[in-house]
Structure 1
């Protein structure tokens, strides 16, 4: 189901709250020294896309009409969480022992954090995996690697690896699993 900017902003608020708890010791996540705020600004464009962008009170997310108009609500939230994850990637990578790393790991950690956060705000791993695996239909990933972005099939594989690890009893920490995945790149 498509999301309005107001609905998308509410989803980002929940994701930022979970991020604060998981990665920021209860503090609001920051990017470029500014607070991340739960504001989603709709911008023109048919291609599903999003970016961090200055917003009232800090940094929010610009989301294309194509992204907010997808019929897969979990895919929309995954993409929004991924963009927020870019703001958090340096912190998360440093926390897992990969401080200062760049390149594909920054995209992969944003994907992993997105998937993990979605499971912390009420979505199941099967829901997340179904949406991520439908990337060709939704356009949330590109077919081929481009810049720091791994190919879509590789991104799905990394999220699947995280999901399978989290299904273990007891599950490993997010950080342990994310570190192993990022070191494999």
Structure 2
């Protein structure tokens, strides 16, 4: 990709979402294409998101905008950025959860290698639901680790979860303690920090 050129799809989508001021119209506090382009071409989309949220009051972009950004990233050969945008589209369509997760050390759980942080893993979670016989009914949610490509056993990080069946997570609220499973053993413990409804609805903090 030529880093001297702007990807028109990206900038057009961000302007359509009312997140960018044109260079010619920007004031000292506005976010302009020049402010974010260096991060975009160097595949630092999470940094860009933080800038956009600071300047636009934590916007909840609709899934269509995120899918458009994902397509632009794919055309620009930015696979990690594309994965991040697809992830955010899934968050916009479904209930999503942010939590602080601590993995069990290698000797206390099944996992002995680092956990991939970019939305690949879909572990099971004990969020308090029960089967008809009273046994725990675990629920699946995809996992993205904020700011880290991997999370090693025994490590701690803030993670983002997208439930496979959002209605089953309706009771989960900030402060709740939930357990991660990759098998019958507990692989990690998490404390819920925030629950976000689909884009356009108010989050629970």
TM-score for the superposition, normalised by structure 2: 0.32
Query: Per residue, is there more helix in 1 or in 2?
Result: 1
Which of structures 1 and 2 has the bigger CA Rg? 2
TM-score for the superposition, normalised by structure 1: 0.35
Query: Per residue, is there more strand in 1 or in 2?
Result: 2
